[in-house]
Amino acid sequence: MEHVVPPEAAALLARARRVVVVTGAGISAESGVPTFRDALTGLWQRFDAQALATPQAFEDDPDLVWGWYEWRRSTVRRARPNAGHTAVAAIEARLPGTVLVTQNVDDLHERAGSRDPVHLHGSLLAPRCSGCSRPAPLPDVADEPAEGRRVPPPRCAGCAARVRPGVVWFGEALPQAALDRAVEAAASCDLLVTVGTSGLVYPAAEIPRVAARLGATVIQVNPDETPLDAVAEVNLRGPAARVLPALVAAAWGDTMPA
């Protein structure tokens, strides 16, 4: 069933000139990629995601952490972008100045046609050396995700230190250029659409707040309540793959590819 979007939300998008879209794990949920806070399903359930996504965890048990990331990478590889990703690409096509800022470490936005997403938390697909930061080749992954398996990380071809996932862990700085681009875009947009993020992790959670403080309107798409409810002028409660295409269609008519 088509999701019904309030006319004021459609009008906000139709009137907008400079749009920022901020996405979190929820936009990939309907592609079968578990959200960060749900990422420890099945055999991984005995661990705590917040505790695995730290430099300390990698130091203490590199095989466990690398195995978890390899399992997630194989899940993402098998996933396909959904109608939410496609709707974001449609906004970019309609308004070419749109800036897409994602906290996600998957590549589903790129595969849906988004040209240049700002990746605040890095990528599952860009491992690097934990010693000298040299980019490392992606190991082949099995076709079936090997859930719950410890996997020793490869060694750097330059310095023999362990290769680590190219993501930003708790306590690590975000890539400065990406953060600068995101904050500048938020500070100069007239509409920010935040999609599928719990709004709990900083500094990413600050970005919609920056936009609102400087006069932009914020629309939030999320089936659940989040701390960003208070920042958003419109809260569209529903799954991204239903709500975003409906929002785009309501704003501009049938511009969505089938």
List binding-site positions: 69, 72, 103-106, 129, 132, 156, 159, 196-198, 222-224, 240
User: Which partner, ligand BJW, Zn ion, none, binds residue 156 by CB below 5 to 8 Å per kind?
Assistant: Zn ion
Residue (34 or 154) nearer to Zn ion, CB: 154
Judged by beta carbon distances under 5 to 8 A according to partner kind, the member of ligand BJW, Zn ion, none in contact with residue 53 is: ligand BJW
CB of 156 to ligand BJW, least distance (A): 20
* Residues annotated in a binding site for Zn(2+): 129, 132, 156, 159
Counting residues that bind Zn ion (by CB under 5 A) gives: 8
Strand-pair category, 191-195 with 217-221? parallel
- The verdict on whether 121 is a catalytic residue reads yes
Of all residues in the shown chain, the one whose CB is closest to ligand BJW is 26
Distance CA 79, CA 149 (A): 20
Measuring CA to CA, which residue among 172, 250, 226, 254 is closest to residue 3? 250
User: Edge-to-edge strand order for the sheet containing 118-119?
Assistant: 118-119, 99-102, 19-23, 191-195, 217-221, 234-236
In 99-202, the DSSP E strands lie at: 99-102, 118-119, 122-129, 163-167, 191-195
User: Should residue 222 be labelled a site residue for ligand BJW when binding is judged by CB under 6 A?
Assistant: yes
- 183 forms part of the interface with ligand BJW (CB under 6 A): no
Element (H, E) at 220: strand 217-221
Residues 131-150 interacting with Zn ion (rule: CB under 5 A):
131-132, 134
